[in-house]
Structure 1
Amino acid sequence: MKDITSLLQRRAGVQARVAELAAIEADGTDLTAEQLAEFNQLQAEFNDLTARIDRIQAAEKMAAVTATPLASMSAVPKAAKQKGEDIGMIVRALCASKGDPRGAAHYADTNGFPEIAAVLNTGTGAAGGFIVPPGYVPEFVELLQPMSVVRASGARTIPMPNGSLTMPKIVGGASANYQGENDDIAASEQTFGQMTLSKKKLTALVPVSNDLIRFSNPQANTMVRDDMLQAIALREDIGFLRDNGTGNLPKGLRYWAPAGNVIAANATVNLQNVKNDLGKLELALLTGKVRMIKPGWVFSPRTMVYLQNLVDGNGNKAFPEIDAGQLRGKPFRLTTQIPENLGAGSNESEIYLVDFNEVIIGEATGLIIDVSTEASFKSGATMVSAFSQDLTLIRAITEHDIQPRHDVAVAVLTGVKWAP
C-alpha cells in the first residue's frame, strides 16, 4: 500500500504535467487530441489522488486524537491555530528534544498538539535532519511568499517533485504578410524552446533562545516559525535577484535579463534623467512584446527615499504615488538585498522592472529541519557558541529554482547613484 508521501509526490507530478499542458494552450497553441486526452486523464487521476490523500489524513488525525489519554486533554478550548503554527511546533519540539523525533512527539503531545505528535512519531528522518511531511510544506511556502519580494511581486510557484521541471516556451512567433491574389502564401510558424529548472539547495542557520523553546505558548511557535521564514526569505531574495548561476547557486533575474535590457543609468542625476532612465526600462519590456500582466519594480530603500524626496522646479513631488506603493502606475517592493555599494565608487545600486507573471519558481516538495545545542555560528566576524549562550541552532534546508519564461520580461537599470 502506498504511503501518504508517495501519494503527495505523485499528485505533485500530475499537477506539474497539467501545468505544462495548460502553458501550451495559454501561449495560443491548441492542444492536440492526444494532449486533450492526456489532460482529462490527469485531471481524473489528480481528483482520485486528492480523495485518497484526504481519507488517509482524516484517518491519521482520528488515530492521533483517540490515542491521547483523557487526562492529558485540557478542559479549556484551544484557541484557533494561526497559519503555520504547526510548523513552529514541529521546530520547537525538535529543538526541545535535541532532534530526537520520539522525544519531539512527546513534547508536542504534552503541549496540546496530538496531531503533530503523530506526525513526528511516523515521520521520516534524513541524514542530519527531520523531513517535514509534504502536507505541511505548502503552508510554509505560503507564509514565505509575503516575506520574499520576488514571491510577493507575483512570481508563479510550480511543484518540482522530482527535483527538476521542463516547460515549453515560445522563442519566435509566426508571421503574416500581404500578397497578391494568385501568389503563394509564405509558410511561417512559431518556434519553441524549453525552460529547465533544477533544484538548488538553500540552507538557513537560525539561532533561537532556549527560553523561548521552553515557553509553552502559541506565540512561541509563531516566533520560532517567523525567525526561520525571515532567514530563508532574505537569502532567497539574493538568489532570485542577483546570484549568477555558477556552482550550486540559482541564476537570478539580474543574469536572466538579456544584454539589451541591462541599461546604465545616466551619470548626470536630475529629474529629467531619472524619468528617462525609468522610461527606458519600461520601453525595453514593451519593445519585447511583454504582456505586462504583473509588472513590478524592485529596488533598495535608498532609491525609494530618493524618489520620495524628489521634487520639480515648483517644489511639487515628482512621484507622489510613491507614498501609495506605486511608481509610474506599477507597484514596487523594497529589499536590502539589492546592494547600494556597487561600482568603482562603491555608491551604486540597481533597479529591476519585471513582469512577474513570466517568472516561474520551481519548488521541490521538501523541508528538512536539523537542530543543535552544541554547534557554533558566526555573528558578523565573531564566533558564538550556542551552548554557552543557551541557544539552539536550527538548520533549515529547502530546494528550488527560478527562471523567467521569456528573458525579455526582465530589465535592469545599473549604476544607480540616486541618494537623498
Structure 2
Amino acid sequence: MQQVLTAIAELKDIIAGTTEKVASYEQKIEELTKAFKAHEERIWKLEKGATPARVSIGDRRVTWDAEQRVEFLRWFQGALTRTLNEGTDAEGGYLVPEEFRPELLRLVEKYGLFRKNARVIPMTREEMKIPKLASGVNVYWPGEANAITEASANIFGQATLTAKKLAGYITASQELVEDSSLDVVDLIVTVFAEAIAKEEDRVGFKGDSSGTDPFDGVLNASGVNTVTMGSGDTTYDKVSYDDLCDMISAVKNTEGCVWCLHRTVLGVIRKLKDSNGHPIWASASGGDPATILGYPYLVSEVMPSTADGSQADKPFMFFGNLKYALLGDRKKITVGTSEHVKFAEDEIAIKVVERIAINIAVPAAFAVLKTAAS
C-alpha cells in the first residue's frame, strides 16, 4: 500500500510540473499572438498611408484607402461602349463565366500615334501660350559709313494651347459586376486608353474646327504646304510618284519628317513606279521597307481611306515633322464612378475624363496632299 501511495504522490508531482509547463507555453503563445497582431496593424497603417485613390461619387469627391481600392477593383468590371448586362453576350455577357475560367479574345487596334510623335507639353492652367519663331530675319551689305538696315521686330509669334475636355460615360449592371469572375481591370483601362488615344489621333491628324472638332489637325491646319493632285485626280487611289516628290520638295527642312497615311493609301503606294518603271517600294521578294522615298511612315486607321465616300478636293495624307505639333496635357485620364445616378436601375455609372489641347505650331513644317476638285 505504501508503494502505491508513493507512486501516486510522484504522479501528482509530474502532473503539477506538466501543468506549469503548459501554462508557460500558453503564455508564450498569447505573447506571440499579440506581437503578430501588432505587426499586422502596423502593416495595415502603412498600406492606409499609401497614396489614396480619389473618385467622384455623386457630387462629392472622396478618398479611398487601400481596402476600398481593392474593393473598387473587384467590382469595376464591364465593357466600355454601352450599358452592360449579363443576358446579352455582345453587351457584356461574354464576361460572365459558366463553368470554366473565362478567356477573352479581342483585337487591339493600334492607336496613340499622335501622342507618341507630337511634342507633349504639361499644362498648369487652362490656356498656355508658347513662343515660336514666326519668320526669319534679313541681313544686308551696308556700304562704308552707311547705316545698317534694321530687321523687322515681328519675328516671334505665339502658339496658344487651350485645354478642352474629352470624356466618356457608360453604365454597368450590378449583376454583371457581381457575377463576373474574370479580372478585366487591365482590359477596361486599356479600352479606355485606346478610345481616348484614337480620338487624339483623329483630331491631331485630321481635326476640323470649322465643324464640331475643338482643334484643327495637320490636314486642316491653316498655313500648311498644300500639294494638289493633277486635274481629274479626284480620288485617293490616284496618288502618284510625282505627288510624293512634290510633297518632299514643299517642306524646307525634312529632318525628322515622316509620312502619315491610311493603310489603303499605303497599298496604292506599294504599286507605284518611278519614271523608269521601277517600283518605289520594294521588290516582290523583299519585305516591306521602313521608309517611303527614304522617310519613315506612320499608318493610322483614322486617316482618310480609299473606301471613303466623297474624295474630291480633300486632303488625305501628309509629310512633315510631328515635333512641330503640340499636345498640351492639362489633366491626365481620371475615372469617376457612382451608384446613385442609376440607383433605380441598380446600375453603376462610370465616366472617364481628360483635358488636352492640340496646336499645329509650325504648319510650314508639313506638306499635305489634296485631291483635285474635278
User: TM-score band, normalised by the shorter chain?
Assistant: 0.5 to 0.7
Q: Give 1:240's aligned amino acid.
A: G
Alpha-carbon distance change, 185 to 226 in structure 1, aligned in 2, over 3 angstroms:
same
Equivalent in the alignment of 1:367: 333
TM-aligned CA deviation for residue 311 of structure 1? 4.9
Q: 2:69 aligns with which of 82, 85, 108?
A: 108
Deviates more, 1:244-253 or 1:401-410: 244-253
Q: 1:281 aligns with which of 229, 244, 247?
A: 247
Map 1:13-412 → 2, pairs under 5 A = 65-67=43-45, 106-109=67-70, 147-152=111-116, 154-189=117-152, 191-205=155-169, 210=176, 214-215=180-181, 217=183, 220-246=184-210, 249-258=214-223, 261-266=225-230, 267-268=232-233, 274-286=240-252, 291-311=253-273, 317-320=279-282, 323-340=288-305, 344=310, 350-371=316-337, 394-412=350-368
Alpha-carbon distance change, 284 to 64 in structure 1, aligned in 2, over 3 angstroms:
farther
Equivalent in the alignment of 2:105: none
CA displacement, residues 392-415 of structure 1 (integer Å, 9 cap, x when unaligned): 664211111111332211221122
Local SS of the residue matching 1:254: helix
- Distance (whole Å) between structure 1 residues aligned to residue 188 and residue 261 of structure 2: 29
CA contact (8 A) 1:200 1:248 kept: no
CA contact (8 A) 1:201 1:248 kept: no
Local SS of the residue matching 1:176: coil
- Distance (whole Å) between structure 2 residues aligned to residue 411 and residue 176 of structure 1: 28
Alpha-carbon distance change, 244 to 263 in structure 1, aligned in 2, over 3 angstroms:
same
CA contact (8 A) 2:130 2:160 kept: yes
Q: Give 1:395's aligned amino acid.
A: K
CA displacement, residues 219-272 of structure 1 (integer Å, 9 cap, x when unaligned): x3321111001110111112112222256612222222426x122223459999
- Distance (whole Å) between structure 1 residues aligned to residue 278 and residue 179 of structure 2: 52
Give the gaps of 5 or more residues in structure 1: 1-62, 70-88, 114-145, 377-386
CA displacement, residues 122-157 of structure 1 (integer Å, 9 cap, x when unaligned): xxxxxxxxxxxxxxxxxxxxxxxx8322122x2111
Provide the aligned C-alpha RMSD in A: 4.6
CA contact (8 A) 1:349 1:416 kept: no
TM-aligned CA deviation for residue 353 of structure 1? 1.3
TM-aligned CA deviation for residue 315 of structure 1? 7.8
Q: Give 2:267's aligned amino acid.
A: V
- Distance (whole Å) between structure 1 residues aligned to residue 261 and residue 364 of structure 2: 19
- Distance (whole Å) between structure 2 residues aligned to residue 211 and residue 347 of structure 1: 49
Please give the TM-score of this superposition, normalised by the length of structure 1. 0.55
Alpha-carbon distance change, 370 to 275 in structure 1, aligned in 2, over 3 angstroms:
same
- Distance (whole Å) between structure 2 residues aligned to residue 285 and residue 179 of structure 1: 32
Q: Give 1:361's aligned amino acid.
A: L
Q: Give 1:279's aligned amino acid.
A: C
Alpha-carbon distance change, 64 to 183 in structure 1, aligned in 2, over 3 angstroms:
farther
The structure having more radius of gyration, on CA atoms, is: 2
Q: Give 1:337's aligned amino acid.
A: V
Alpha-carbon distance change, 65 to 317 in structure 1, aligned in 2, over 3 angstroms:
farther
Please give the TM-score of this superposition, normalised by the length of structure 2. 0.61
Q: Give 1:106's aligned amino acid.
A: E
The percent identity for this pair of structures is: 18
Alpha-carbon distance change, 271 to 256 in structure 1, aligned in 2, over 3 angstroms:
closer
- Distance (whole Å) between structure 2 residues aligned to residue 177 and residue 322 of structure 1: 52
TM-aligned CA deviation for residue 102 of structure 1? 6.6
Alpha-carbon distance change, 170 to 348 in structure 1, aligned in 2, over 3 angstroms:
closer
- Distance (whole Å) between structure 2 residues aligned to residue 270 and residue 312 of structure 1: 18
Q: Give 1:414's aligned amino acid.
A: K
Alpha-carbon distance change, 280 to 107 in structure 1, aligned in 2, over 3 angstroms:
same
Alpha-carbon distance change, 105 to 265 in structure 1, aligned in 2, over 3 angstroms:
farther
- Distance (whole Å) between structure 2 residues aligned to residue 398 and residue 337 of structure 1: 20
CA contact (8 A) 1:155 1:359 kept: yes
Between Structure 1 and Structure 2, which shows a larger proportion of helix residues? 1
TM-aligned CA deviation for residue 199 of structure 1? 0.5
Local SS of the residue matching 1:338: coil
Local SS of the residue matching 2:246: helix
- Distance (whole Å) between structure 1 residues aligned to residue 319 and residue 206 of structure 2: 14
